[in-house]
């Protein structure tokens, strides 16, 4: 059987501090996994470790966005495509946005609902808009595995559902950290729950209720 990510009794560290101990976990290609747990439970650490396992397959959407504030939304989204293009082309696109990229990114931005602010720099966007840009950058990476850390936390509930569905539809596999439990149940087919440095929940969403997930936060 194919395996995408796997841990066998591993310890994960944040710097020198152990965050997750004795972790055993397997994720297969094609799975869409939601990652739940209180803040500080180790979600970001786990995502970082997953990224290391298949760095070249991963479309990465970090929690704080980590965008370049003074560049436009267009250029920030384009950054997802840096590995696809030669340095010369990328530098040219930096000073003189290329028609091909403009078209592709405009189409993507329309799906994300940010086509009007492509030419605006990130420091002049709202938190929700910036978050969509970060998601756009991950989608524009065009790689099979999406790793997202609270990618839609600043977007309203209805939009969050739509954006998450869009992002999931464009990737074979995904592991996404969330704080919205209903989103986890509606968009994903498996839920992982972290608590006190351990994986305490690992189940298909079909058999889960919101009350089951509440136990992670109690």
Partner 1 sequence: MRFMPEAAWNTTAGRFRRASLWLGLVGVLAFLLADLEITTLSPGTELARIGTGFLTPDFAATEFVWQALANTLAFAFQGVALGVVAGFVLALGWRFRGVRAFSAVIRAVHELFWGLIFLQITGLSPLTGVLAIAIPYAGIFAKVFGEFLEEADARPATALPSGSTWLATFFYARLPLILLPVRTYSAYRLECGLRASAILGFIGLPTLGFHLETAFRQGDYSAGAAILYLFFLLIGTLRWWLHRHLLPLYLGAALWWAPPLSSAPAGTLWRFLSEDIVPAPLRQDGGFEAFMQWCLRLASEQALPGLWHTLVLSSAALLLTALLSLLLFPLVSPRFGSPLSRGLGHILLVILRTTPEFLLAFILLLLFGPSMLPGIIALALHTSAIVAWLGGRFTLQWPARCDGATGLRGYCYEVLPRIYPNLLALLLYRWEIIMRETAILGILGITTLGYFVDAAFAEFRFDRALFLILVSVLLNLGVDAFSRRLRQHLRLSLNEGRTLARLPGADTTPPRGAAP
Report the b/e string of 89-108 with b at 16+ CB within 10 A. Answer: ebeebeeebeeebeebbeeb
82 binds partner 1 (CB under 8 A): yes
Q: Is 210 in the site for partner 1 (CB under 8 A)?
A: no
Q: What sign results for the dihedral spanned by CA atoms 33, 37, 43, 46?
A: negative
Q: How far is the CB of 118 from partner 1 (least distance, A)?
A: 16
Angle at 79 between CA 74 and CA 85, to 5 degrees: 115
Residues 135-164 contacting partner 1, CB under 8 A: 137, 141, 143
Which x/- pattern, by CB under 8 A, does the window 38-77 give for partner 1? -----------------xx-xxx-x-xxxxxxxx---x--
Q: How many CB atoms are closer than 10 A to CB 186? A: 13
- Give the number of other CB atoms < 10 A from CB of residue 53: 14
How many residues form the binding site for partner 1 (CB under 8 A)?
30
Min dist CB 90 to partner 1, Å, is 5
Residue ranges that bind partner 1, judged by CB under 8 A: 55-56, 58-60, 62, 64-71, 75, 78-80, 82-83, 85, 87, 90-91, 94, 121, 134, 137, 141, 143
């Amino acid at each position: 059987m194919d395996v995408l990510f796997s841990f066998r009794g591993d310890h994960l560290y944040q710097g020198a501090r152990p965050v997750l101990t004795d972790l055993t976990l397997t994720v297969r290609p094609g799975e869409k996994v939601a990652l739940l747990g209180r803040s500080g439970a180790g979600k970001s650490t786990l995502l970082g470790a997953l990224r290391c396992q298949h760095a070249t397959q991963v479309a990465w959407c970090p929690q704080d966005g980590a965008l370049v504030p003074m560049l436009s939304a267009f250029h920030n989204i384009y950054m997802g495509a840096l590995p696809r293009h030669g340095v010369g082309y990328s530098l040219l696109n930096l000073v003189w946005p290329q028609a091909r990229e403009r078209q592709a990114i405009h189409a993507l931005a329309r799906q994300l609902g940010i086509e009007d602010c492509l030419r605006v720099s990130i420091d002049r966007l709202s938190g929700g808009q910036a978050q969509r840009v970060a998601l756009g950058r991950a989608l524009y990476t065009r790689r099979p595995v999406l790793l997202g850390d609270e990618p839609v936390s600043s977007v309203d509930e209805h939009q969050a559902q739509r954006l998450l569905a869009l992002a999931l539809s464009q990737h074979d596999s995904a592991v996404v950290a969330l704080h919205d439990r209903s989103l986890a149940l509606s968009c994903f087919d498996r839920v992982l729950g972290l608590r006190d440095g351990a994986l305490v929940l690992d189940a298909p969403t079909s058999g889960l209720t919101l009350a089951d997930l509440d136990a992670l936060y109690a």
